Amino acid sequence: MKIPEKIKQEVSELRRQIDYHNRLYYTQDRPEIPDADYDAMFDRLLFLEREYDLVSPDSPTQRVGGEPLGHFSQVAHELPMLSLDKVFGEQDLIDFDNRLKKRLEDDAGLEYSCEPKVDGVAVSLLYVDGLLQRAATRGDGVTGEDITHNVRTISGIPLKLLGSSLHGRIEVRGEIFLGKAGFARLNKRARKEGSKTFVNPRNTAAGAVRQLDPRKAARIPLEMFCYSVGVVDEVTMPDKLSEVFDLIDSWGLPVNPDRSTEQGIENCQRYCDRLLSKRDKLDYEIDGAVIKVNNRSVQERLGQNARTPRWAMAYKFPAEEKSTRVIDVEFQVGRTGTITPVARLEPVFVGGVTVSNTTLHNMDEVARLGLRIGDTVIIRRAGDVIPKVVKVIDPARNKSPKPIEIPSECPACGSPVEKDGEVLYKCSAGIICPAQRKESIKHFASRGALDVEGLGDKLVEQLVDSGLVKNVDDIFSLTQEQLAGMERMGEKSAANLLQAIEKSKQTTLPRFLYALGIREVGEATAQALTAHYGDLQPIMDASAEDHERVTDVGPIVAGHIETFFRNEENRALIGKLISHGIQWPKVEISTGSQALAGKTYVLTGTLEQMTRNDAKARLLALGAKVAGSVSKNTDCVVAGPGAGSKLSKAEELGIEIIDEGEFLRLLDSLS
């Protein structure tokens, strides 16, 4: 078909406009047109592309690709993606500047590029002749994973760079993150749909970037700030980083508007202070600032250490603290009946989230804080840590204090509350208590357990309250009709949920063990049990003494495991679950090489290729011990980005330190 010139022009103009408005909306946060106008342009473009067969891979309509991937392919970084050393205060920053001057044998003040340290995921984007060709995670800095299918769904990242003569390869690096507004929107939607809410923006972004299914990634409104360039073939880059930023900005790539060029380290300190004071007002989470030598030629002269450049430094902010008032204290009944005091707070925005309640852990903690209802308290929150009540301020200010007392009856079922060990209290009813029932079902369906998508907290509560679900196995007997009758559930969501329930039956043994909710058996212990026994039956038959042979299982946990599997009701429940079709692949026990027997490893920093639990399980399977702190008995420390005091201690003690890449190679060579 001969396509009229007018149509071609309209299509190209629509693409240009949509890209332009995407950029205004997603990276500059200043939309110029109403959403409805944008949607109309998008629909028109879709129509024309279909009608005239004009689809092209760089069209904004082609962001979400087709089918999910089966696995990630590896990407080797031609230039390694480095990490950053970090400092915590003014003097450390001055020392950093002095070190650089000494190395350069020049006392003249240095020019720095100061940038917010965005809390997200480091990625590399590769453009070839101006077209986005590949996106990869940082991985261990040397090898990452191909995440192009997900990055294409991020509206703020251009599929095609602006500018006509961009030939050859241009690699741009930066941080993909989820803004505070996007995170709030996402959780609002999750609450409305009754599905599980997301814990924090960083983890949500990391999870979205590593999705195999781009349609799932596309649901998360990810953003990016670019902060450096990697391989560049033909385009001449300016010497100053600040000018590199301006150049990549002109190509339509998102750069952080809160960056600044500063003369001398004192001005960098002032920048950090300013940034800290406006931290709350930023629309994205930061955990500090990054101070970089601005001249790339000077950067080159300074060079790098093993994993970090000498010319850059992360300036980490302290954990954030805010004051607020304790309106009330309620008692929550957990999965195993433990009764926990929870403070209801006047909502306060701290460390990037609004906190309106927080656990007080136990009554000893309440006593230690000297807390009463109505008190004003300091709340601290760092990174993704649960907010913590640090102390009571000015207790005399509380004119009508109310003491906090443990109830004598379970707030959920009215059964007597009894003491459980030194500091805990428990509902005496066991699994007939509806609160315990609800919590154990929520746990069973949670992400680390059977991961039943769509079975959120609200729905579990409805299902238990309506009597449809009493025990976890009842979820496998739910029908379309029953589910569609629940609040906020339509035919379609009921069908989706049934499908998700069916899918959850194909699981792994560690997930199943964790889902059972055995006291003190977390994901790592479930992995260790699997690696040790290989299958469920031997775990069910073993004694506490046997369990103690599993690495990292002490006498108390071993006792809990034995008690759980001796209990007839639990054995019957397992039988029912298996007869519903729950199954997992058999695991080979690594009886062979216990190549790391007698060795003690410590894991520190962030691992990017595997979870810490997986790393731990792999080490345990090879006979190694995994310790929580570095001592002279440590044989090796696996250090990922963000490693802090454990890494310094290992360096001090002269202990072998390896990064994630070396660790993976070691595991491969031994298994």
> So which residues are the catalytic ones?
117
Return the number of the residue (115 or 320) whose C-beta is nearest ligand IVH: 115
CA-based max dimension of the chain = 83
Closest to ligand IVH by CB, 126 or 379 = 126
- How far, in Å, CA of 184 to CA of 189, rounded? 9
Q: For residues 312 and 596, which CB has a smaller minimum distance to ligand IVH in the complex?
A: 312
Least separation in angstroms between residue 231's CB and ligand IVH is: 14
Angle in degrees, CA 183, 187, 191, rounded to 5: 175
Instruction: Report the nearest approach of ligand IVH to the CB of residue 508 (Å).
Output: 30
Q: What is the DSSP letter of 179?
A: -
User: H-helix or E-strand containing 175?
Assistant: strand 169-178
Place of tokens 């998102």: 254
Tokens representing 397? 């200010």
Q: Among 580, 572, 611, 612, which Cα is nearest to 506's?
A: 580
Between residues 120 and 337, which has the closer beta carbon with respect to ligand IVH? 120
User: Whose Cβ is closer to ligand IVH: residue 183's or residue 225's?
Assistant: 225
Distance of closest approach, residue 142 Cβ to ligand IVH, in angstroms: 13
Helix pair angle (264-277, 90-104), 10° resolution? 150
Cβ(452)–Cβ(504) below 8 Å: yes
Binding site for ligand IVH (CB under 6 A): 82-84, 115, 117-118, 122, 138, 175, 227-228, 290, 309, 312, 314, 641-642
Residue 229 or 557 having the CB closest to ligand IVH: 229
Closer CB to ligand IVH, residue 88 or residue 476? Answer: 88
Using the minimum distance from each CB to ligand IVH, give the nearer residue, 80 or 534. Answer: 80
CB environment 254-279: b (16+ within 10 A), e (fewer)? bbbebbbbbeebebbbebbeebbeeb
Least separation in angstroms between CB 636 and ligand IVH: 22
Q: Where are the alpha helices (DSSP H) in 166-227?
A: 180-193, 201-209, 214-218
Nearest-10 Cα torsion for 646, 650, 651, 655: -160
Q: How many other CB atoms sit within 10 Å of the CB of residue 475?
A: 21
Residue of minimal CB distance from ligand IVH? Answer: 122
Say what angle helices 523-533 and 612-621 make with each other, to 10 degrees: 30
Rounded to a whole number of angstroms, the minimum distance from the CB of residue 259 to ligand IVH is 8
Q: Where are the beta strands (DSSP E) in 44-168?
A: 74-76, 86-87, 111-118, 121-128, 131-137, 143-145
Kindly state the smallest distance separating residue 607's Cβ from ligand IVH, in Å.
13
97 or 473, CB closer to ligand IVH?
Answer: 97
Smallest distance, Å, CB 114 to ligand IVH?
A: 9
Q: Give min distance, CB of 649 to ligand IVH, in A.
A: 19
Rounded CA-CA distance 141/309 in Å is: 13
Q: Do 209 and 137 form a contact (C-beta atoms < 8 A)? A: yes
Q: Which is nearer to ligand IVH, 131 or 231 (CB)?
A: 231
* CA gap 554, 564 in Å, rounded: 16
CA-wise closest residue to 308 among 516, 96, 528: 96
- List the one residue out of 570, 582, 568 whose CA is nearest residue 475: 582
Output the smallest distance, CB 315 to ligand IVH, in A.
11
What angle is formed at CA 660 by the lines to CA 658 and CA 661, rounded to 5 degrees?
95
115 versus 223: smaller Cβ distance to ligand IVH: 115
Long-range (24+ apart) CB contacts under 8 A made by 53-59 are: 53/1, 54/3, 54/7, 54/8, 54/11, 57/131, 57/159, 58/15, 58/131, 58/132, 58/159, 58/160, 59/15, 59/159
Give least dist CB 255 to ligand IVH, A: 10
Beta-bridge partners for 115: 290
Question: Measured from the CB of residue 223, what is the shortest distance to ligand IVH in angstroms?
Answer: 13
Q: Are strands 286-293 and 169-178 parallel, antiparallel or unpaired?
A: unpaired
Q: CA 336, CA 430: separation in Å to the nearest integer? A: 7
- Name which of 169 and 307 has its Cβ closer to ligand IVH: 307
**Given 3-state DSSP classes, what are the helix, strand and coil percentages for the chain, each rounded to the nearest 5?**
40, 25, 40
Q: Pick from 290, 232, 286: which is nearest to 113 by CA?
A: 290
Secondary structure of 585-653 in the HEC alphabet? CCCCCCCCCCCCCCCEEEEECCCCCCCHHHHHHHHHHCCCEEECCCCCCCCEEEECCCCCHHHHHHHHH
Q: CB 614 → ligand IVH: shortest distance, Å? A: 21
Find the length of the chain.
Answer: 671
